[in-house]
Amino acid sequence: MSHDIDHETKPDMTPMIDVVFLMIIFFVCIEFRTLEAKLPAFLPKHKGSSPHAVAPQPNLPVRVELVAAGTRTFAPGLGAGDVDPGTGRAPRFQLVGHQVRWQVGPKVLHDLDAVRHELQRVAGDAQNLVTDAATGGRRLLPCVIEGQRGTCYEDIARTADACRHAGFADIEFGGGMGPLR
């Protein structure tokens, strides 16, 4: 007897489908908030609202003010209304001549290194420790970065980095005179 029947062999897709369904269930059930909580992001925290009067808390104001707006310079061949053909977005620009000054408490400073030095001096002074309401222990007073009209995100971000580096753990943002540009 001859077995000349040609059988086409096909792979069994059932195990692969099972694996795909298990992966879908895994990703649906996992809590991404726990993964996001592990990312180091230092964002302002909402303090909430209360109908009760709250005693004012001491803080260190760090004001960032515009001195010179600077001029926008684009890549060669691109302008303000153009679209970058590589990205399909508005072209990046650099501010030439952009200058800001800082006011850390009452002291006016004109460069970021001086701001870093002043913040470290303030952080090292024991008079700038306040009582933590949650623990009852002593901690460094909060720092409030006040970006004024015309300052850029980069100005505020560098200021926040300087505050964090100096040891300020509680950094808040506010007090500006309008939207940051």
How many Å apart are CA 128 and CA 57, to the nearest integer?
12
Q: Whole-model pTM above 0.95?
A: no
Map tokens 């408490």 to a residue: 105
pLDDT of residue 50: 67
How many Å apart are CA 23 and CA 72, to the nearest integer?
48
Residues 135-155, buried b or exposed e (16+ Cβ, 10 A)?
eeeebbbbbbbbbbebbbeeb
pLDDT of residue 180: 42
Map tokens 């952080």 to a residue: 123
Please say if the pLDDT value at position 38 is more than 80.
Answer: no
How many Å apart are CA 111 and CA 173, to the nearest integer?
20
Sorted by where each begins, the domain ranges of the chain are 60-173
pLDDT of residue 128: 85
User: If you average pLDDT over each of 1-5, 31-35, 109-113, 123-127, which comes out highest?
Assistant: 109-113
Please say if the pLDDT value at position 2 is more than 70.
Answer: no
pLDDT of residue 103: 94
pLDDT of residue 179: 46
Please say if the pLDDT value at position 17 is more than 90.
Answer: yes
Q: How confident is the model at residue 181 (pLDDT cuts 50, 70, 90)?
A: very low
